[in-house]
Amino acid sequence: MKQNNLYVFVAASLALLVPAPGRLAFGIILILSLNITMLIGTLFRKLISILKFDDLQSVLVAMMLVCVTMLQKLLLTFYNPVYALTLGFLLYLPSLSSFLIGYFFDPSREPLILELKDNMSQSLRFSLFALILFFLRDIFGYGTITFPASKGLLSIDLSVKPFLLQIGNFVASIPGTLVLVGLVIVFQLHIMRKMRIIANIEGVAINKEEKEESEANGEESEK
């Protein structure tokens, strides 16, 4: 993961995952909203570029984000009003997060296929991490696995022991989520550092081989 992408990843984690309820069902809704907005936003930004409205891109993108978010909340209200009431302002966080804003307000320069591939791959990568986090919070915090349903939460009771639930309450809480996000970020930074070291070592080895080959070629030409 690139350094800039890591900063966006951290900001999105703090904005979207920490304040959300620790239920997998709510996580699925938020992540679905994020990916739908990413897809529509990528297509809309390319449309702006095709129509030569680059000067109005910031205004048009902001209006698009508001409209898409309001439409999603309206559809969620029809599906299950309790979900819309529980999530409340959290439904607007995907549109307000730097994860989306960082992609949409820059001019579109690449072909649509490449932009879709890059943006959706980043979105799906974050979605996988987020769903794992919601999954862990649901299991250890509540002893269940929940899924969205039109008449409430579809809950699978895991019959977790009470003392595990007491420990898991910390995982489901906001401080526990901060700790989990922090651990993941530290792990990613460690992996990035190791990858940079390996890349540097390989670069030095390649340069050494090229230098030896050039010297050998020079000696042969002299002969």
Task: Report the distance separating Cα 100 and Cα 97, nearest Å.
Answer: 6
Give the CA count within 13 Å in the CB-facing half-sphere of 222: 6
pLDDT value, residue 2:
44
CB neighbours of residue 38 within 10 Å: 23
Q: How confident is the model at residue 162 (pLDDT cuts 50, 70, 90)?
A: low
Q: Specify the pTM.
A: 0.73
pLDDT at 189 over 80: no
Residue 162 half-sphere exposure toward CB, CA atoms < 13 A: 0
Q: Among 111, 108, 99, which residue's Cα sits nearest to residue 37? A: 99
Element (H, E) at 19: none
pLDDT given at position 63: 85
The better pLDDT of the pair 133, 178 is held by 133
* pLDDT surpasses 60 at 205: no
Q: Are 171 and 140 in contact (CB under 8 A)?
A: yes
Q: Count H helices, E strands: the chain?
A: 9, 2
CA-to-CA dists, residue 112 to 37, 52, 130, angstroms: 16, 15, 26
